[in-house]
Chain A
Amino acid sequence: MRRLHLPLLILFLTALSLGVFYHKVWNLGFPVLPAQTTDNWTVEARVAFEPTGGALTARLFLPHEPPGFALLDEHFVSRGYGLATGMDGANREATWTTRSPSGRQVVYYRATVYQLQRSLRTQPDYPGPADVPDLDEPYRSAAETIVEQVRARSADITSFATVLVRDLLSGADENVRLFQPGNASDRDRVAVAIELLAGARIPARMAHGLQLTDRGRDLQPRTWLEVHNTREWVAINPNDGSVGYPDHFLVWWYGDEDPIELNRAGNAQVSFAVSRNFQDAVDTAQQRAKLLNSRVMDFSLFGLPVQTQNMYRVLLMVPVGAMIIVLLRNVVGVQTFGTFMPVLIALSFRETELLGGVILFTLIVSLGLAIRFYLEHLKLLLVPRLAAVVSIVVMLMLTLSILSHRLGIEHGLAIALFPMVILAMTIERMSIVWEEHGAGDAIRQGIGSLMVAVAGYLLMINPYIEHLIFVFPELLLIVLAATLLLGRYTGYRLSELLRFRVLAGRSGP
């Protein structure tokens, strides 16, 4: 068990991290790459009517779990109205009420919808076979003939509907013509199809939706046929009998009713407008997660104030930098001053940028070392000497900033962001190594520290990694798992392949 403990812990952390990551990417649509945008549509229904006196009620159907879309956000603009939303059969509706309106009234409903890669719609249960309509002759026998003919040419419910719609469209059969006058609208045709489908005991319904086009104004809802194939509702195009909704088709309501119903008002006018907008993919995913009531969002970084978020953008990268240090120290065998000093230097490189940072760091440490060697002659105690080095480092930074500002190099100003105590400690440690182990060791460790800092910096500014860690902080568990794994690494360091090279070619023990 003890031997398995760490591997199991690592496995658990990795699985947990990947699980949350997978859920956030696949089910909530968080973007894996930075600066991704998603297609959003803002759909607006404008309802205008004239009150006829007295308390009025206006009822508008609203989109409800439209296939292929997710409803991200909705607003109602209706001053002076009471508003209630609720379900009515397959439809969701908004009911506006007011007591004493005067003049022409306008209310708005605005929704933001997002096109899904996969539908998240929960399918309602099979409503059961439709009741055969009670038709009079000659309709009854005509309907039976049509059903018979169509059934002969179809394989299943979906193809039955397709064939039926095509027959209705061609209008060649006289039985069909009996049900449908010459130039029937889509809506009429769908109504007839539903009646005939009921003759074959197939449940069907009428759907109304909008073909979303960017900056579309005064869009007319289009009527569509849906049949239930005992597993799900299948859309049938009433114009050619093809299966499925076209792209960007937003189903608004079902049934053979108008979208608006008024009480004590008349002259209703409903118009739809659409505009497309691109939203940051992260925002979209967040909104969806909120709508899906996902637990994940309760622990999201995005709930924090922006300033705190920006701080964590930097802080979350520190474990990644620390893992690089582990890798470079324990696997490669680079020697550095202090364990995590390079991470702090790397963090300050974020502000100064790489080249400037390396130059400034080298400059300050070299100058500081020179002065530190002078201080050695004064034979000071350790803490006062450290304090003196800190003071000198601050003054050096000030001098460099003023000088570079005079010379018009703005990078020099960023020097103030270097952690000066870290610099002072680096100078102190470097001078001790210099005295005791020689200049070679000191310079080698100095360059080692700088290289590790640069490697850490390059990793920490990588926009992909920063985005991944910030949007998916659970990935830090993988970083933790990797660090734990490296904690058990007992193999050789790359530097040891050089160190023990004289043993090459000798026989074993």
Chain B
Amino acid sequence: MKWFITPGELRRQGVVGMNRRNTQMIAALNPRSRYPLVDDKLQTKAVALGAGISVPELYGVIETNHDVRHLPAIVAGREDFVIKPAHGSGGNGILVLTGRVGEQFRKASGLLVDLDGLKHHVSNILSGMYSLGGQPDRAMIEYRVLFDPLFEQVSFQGVPDIRTVVYKGYPAMAMVRLPTRASDGKANLHQGAVGAGIDIATGVTGHGVLLNDIVDRHPDTGAPLGGIAIPGWGRLLELAAGCYELTGLGYLGVDVVLDRDRGPLILELNARPGLAVQIANGTGLLGSVERIDARAAQSALSPAERVAFVRGLAWHQ
């Protein structure tokens, strides 16, 4: 493998760079006024519920340091739950607790943390440590997704999620993000999670990407990443495509988790989805973007029609 790629080849493959993403996609298609909707996960949850889109159940919200004393009451009787900042970015500040050991809680990594540790974490969230721009924030405690056994062989603890990049309401590219030992149960690629491309047409996974390198097997479990067919793929894509109407954002990242009992749940939306999905799929976004641009200029379609359009294309194997 060469240690770099020429700009000409990147262009030929239709790879979108950071600069093009920031100007032609985020700045051009995402009205700033709609950001609070996706940046604040509490708001996202509220509108999603209003539109009948399923999301993980919210156990409680802590808004002030004074309210941190309510934390024991919120988590009382709950074996497992997730604490996350309402304005977090990049998966920062998300604490996944999988069970209790006496007075202690077990983190996704297996390490134990006591109630004081949880309260400190909540305080940090409230002070804005994990929020964009360091603004004071709220902490939400919600249902921990019990992930579908589909990805059991290819994830190390944590919750694997499916990131779909929705361009002008059309699902353009998708990947599944699989936690690894290095990512501490988080499904964020830059924290060491593995991403595997998903064929938009069929919903079958391809090869994976680990920190900008292509891998075929999960680094911790050794199971092959490719060839996993995601059940209900069409419905999942429609769920993702519907988020366009929900948010009005033309370049959107939709993170969906497959829950064992509740099916696909929208975990969060992202107004600035990253570009690693291109590496996971082994191709650039621009090809899909141009086809969608041409189609979107003709007539407005419903989410189901948009999904049918992109699935009919099948432009990568």
Interface residues of A (CB under 8 A from B): 330, 333, 379, 381-383, 432, 436-437, 487-493, 496-506, 508-509
Question: What distance in Å separates the Cβ of A89 from its nearest Cβ neighbour in chain B?
Answer: 68
Top 4 A-B pairs ranked by shortest CB distance?
A509-B287, A382-B127, A490-B20, A492-B17
Interface residue ranges of B109-150 to A (CB < 8 Å): 116-117, 120, 123-124, 127-129, 134
Q: Which residues of B lie under 8 Å from residue A381 when comparing CB positions?
A: 65, 123-124, 127
Contact of A498 with B4 in the complex, beta carbons under 8 Å = yes
Chain A CB within 8 A of B1 CB: yes
Contact of A496 with B10 in the complex, beta carbons under 8 Å = yes
Q: Which residues of A lie under 8 Å from residue B13 when comparing CB positions?
A: 503, 506, 508-509
Q: How far is the CA of A383 from the CA of B136 in the complex (A)?
A: 11
Q: Which residues of A lie under 8 Å from residue B282 when comparing CB positions?
A: 503, 506
Q: Which residues of B lie under 8 Å from residue A498 when comparing CB positions?
A: 3-4, 212
Contact of B4 with A491 in the complex, beta carbons under 8 Å = no
Q: Which residues of B lie under 8 Å from residue A499 when comparing CB positions?
A: 212, 279
Interface code B166-206, partner A: CB below 8 Å = 1, 0 otherwise?
00000000000000000000000011000000000000000
Question: What distance in Å separates the Cβ of A146 from its nearest Cβ neighbour in chain B?
Answer: 81
Q: Which residues of B lie under 8 Å from residue A379 when comparing CB positions?
A: 116-117, 120, 123
Question: What distance in Å separates the Cβ of B277 from its nearest Cβ neighbour in chain A?
Answer: 12
Chain A CB within 8 A of B85 CB: no
Q: Which residues of A lie under 8 Å from residue B283 when comparing CB positions?
A: 503, 506, 508-509
Contact of A509 with B214 in the complex, beta carbons under 8 Å = no
Contact of B19 with A502 in the complex, beta carbons under 8 Å = no
Q: Which residues of A lie under 8 Å from residue B129 when comparing CB positions?
A: 382, 432
13 pairs, CB–CB < 8 Å, chain A vs chain B? A487-B23, A492-B7, A492-B17, A497-B6, A499-B212, A500-B10, A502-B209, A503-B5, A504-B1, A504-B2, A508-B12, A508-B13, A508-B284
Contact of B278 with A509 in the complex, beta carbons under 8 Å = no
Which partner residue on chain B sits nearest A509 by CB separation?
A: B287
Q: Which residues of A lie under 8 Å from residue B287 when comparing CB positions?
A: 508-509
The answer, among A333, A500, A509, for a CB contact under 8 Å with B316, is A509
The answer, among A436, A490, A500, for a CB contact under 8 Å with B24, is A490
Contact of B127 with A504 in the complex, beta carbons under 8 Å = no
Interface residues of B (CB under 8 A from A): 1-7, 9-15, 17-20, 23-24, 65, 92, 116-117, 120, 123-124, 127-129, 134, 190-191, 209, 212-214, 278-279, 282-284, 286-288, 315-316
Contact of A496 with B12 in the complex, beta carbons under 8 Å = no
For the complex with contacts A491-B17, A492-B10, A508-B283, 10 further pairs of A-B residues with Cβ separation under 8 Å are A382-B134, A490-B23, A492-B11, A498-B212, A500-B5, A500-B278, A500-B279, A502-B212, A509-B284, A509-B287
Q: Which residues of B lie under 8 Å from residue A333 when comparing CB positions?
A: 18
Which partner residue on chain A sits nearest B316 by CB separation?
A: A509
Q: How far is the CA of A413 from the CA of B83 in the complex (A)?
A: 47
Q: How far is the CA of A488 from the CA of B23 in the complex (A)?
A: 7
Question: What distance in Å separates the Cβ of A335 from its nearest Cβ neighbour in chain B?
Answer: 11
Q: Which residues of A lie under 8 Å from residue B124 when comparing CB positions?
A: 381-382
Contact of B92 with A503 in the complex, beta carbons under 8 Å = no
Q: Which residues of A lie under 8 Å from residue B123 when comparing CB positions?
A: 379, 381
The answer, among B1, B19, B212, for a CB contact under 8 Å with A492, is B19
Contact of A501 with B278 in the complex, beta carbons under 8 Å = no
Q: How far is the CA of A462 from the CA of B278 in the complex (A)?
A: 42
Q: Which residues of B lie under 8 Å from residue A487 when comparing CB positions?
A: 23
Contact of A491 with B7 in the complex, beta carbons under 8 Å = yes
Which partner residue on chain A sits nearest B283 by CB separation?
A: A509
Question: What distance in Å separates the Cβ of A477 from its nearest Cβ neighbour in chain B?
Answer: 23
Q: How far is the CA of A500 from the CA of B124 in the complex (A)?
A: 35
Given contacts A381-B127, A508-B283, A509-B287, is CB(A501)–CB(B3) below 8 Å?
yes
Given contacts A493-B17, A496-B18, is CB(A503)–CB(B315) below 8 Å?
no
Contact of B127 with A490 in the complex, beta carbons under 8 Å = no
Contact of A508 with B279 in the complex, beta carbons under 8 Å = no
Q: Which residues of B lie under 8 Å from residue A437 when comparing CB positions?
A: 190-191
Contact of B65 with A502 in the complex, beta carbons under 8 Å = no
The answer, among B19, B65, B116, B278, for a CB contact under 8 Å with A503, is B278
Q: How far is the CA of A344 from the CA of B97 in the complex (A)?
A: 42
A493, A497, A503: most-surrounded residue (chain B CB, <10 A): A503
The answer, among B1, B12, B117, for a CB contact under 8 Å with A501, is B1
Q: How far is the CA of A311 from the CA of B212 in the complex (A)?
A: 46
Q: How far is the CA of A61 from the CA of B144 in the complex (A)?
A: 100
Given contacts A493-B17, A503-B10, is CB(A382)–CB(B128) below 8 Å?
yes
Q: How far is the CA of A492 from the CA of B5 in the complex (A)?
A: 11
Which partner residue on chain B sits nearest A436 by CB separation?
A: B92
Contact of A490 with B19 in the complex, beta carbons under 8 Å = yes
Q: How far is the CA of A383 from the CA of B123 in the complex (A)?
A: 11
Which partner residue on chain A sits nearest B15 by CB separation?
A: A500
The answer, among A383, A492, A502, A506, for a CB contact under 8 Å with B127, is A383
Question: What distance in Å separates the Cβ of A444 from its nearest Cβ neighbour in chain B?
Answer: 12
Contact of B191 with A436 in the complex, beta carbons under 8 Å = yes
Q: How far is the CA of A96 from the CA of B27 in the complex (A)?
A: 74
The answer, among A383, A436, A493, A500, for a CB contact under 8 Å with B19, is A493
B4, B13, B19, B213: most-surrounded residue (chain A CB, <10 A): B19
Contact of B10 with A502 in the complex, beta carbons under 8 Å = no
Q: Which residues of A lie under 8 Å from residue B15 when comparing CB positions?
A: 492, 496, 500, 503
Q: Which residues of A lie under 8 Å from residue B316 when comparing CB positions?
A: 509
Q: How far is the CA of A498 from the CA of B6 in the complex (A)?
A: 9
Q: Which residues of A lie under 8 Å from residue B288 when comparing CB positions?
A: 509
Q: How far is the CA of A279 from the CA of B135 in the complex (A)?
A: 56
Contact of A497 with B19 in the complex, beta carbons under 8 Å = no
Question: What distance in Å separates the Cβ of B114 from its nearest Cβ neighbour in chain A?
Answer: 11
Q: How far is the CA of A486 from the CA of B286 in the complex (A)?
A: 21
Contact of A504 with B9 in the complex, beta carbons under 8 Å = yes
Contact of A509 with B7 in the complex, beta carbons under 8 Å = no
Q: Which residues of B lie under 8 Å from residue A496 when comparing CB positions?
A: 10, 15, 17-18
Q: Which residues of B lie under 8 Å from residue A500 when comparing CB positions?
A: 5, 10, 15, 212, 278-279
Contact of B4 with A493 in the complex, beta carbons under 8 Å = no
Q: Which residues of B lie under 8 Å from residue A503 when comparing CB positions?
A: 5, 9-10, 13, 15, 278-279, 282-284
Question: What distance in Å separates the Cβ of A327 from its nearest Cβ neighbour in chain B?
Answer: 12
Q: How far is the CA of A434 from the CA of B154 in the complex (A)?
A: 27
Question: What distance in Å separates the Cβ of A385 from its nearest Cβ neighbour in chain B?
Answer: 9
Given contacts A490-B20, A509-B13, is CB(A501)–CB(B127) below 8 Å?
no
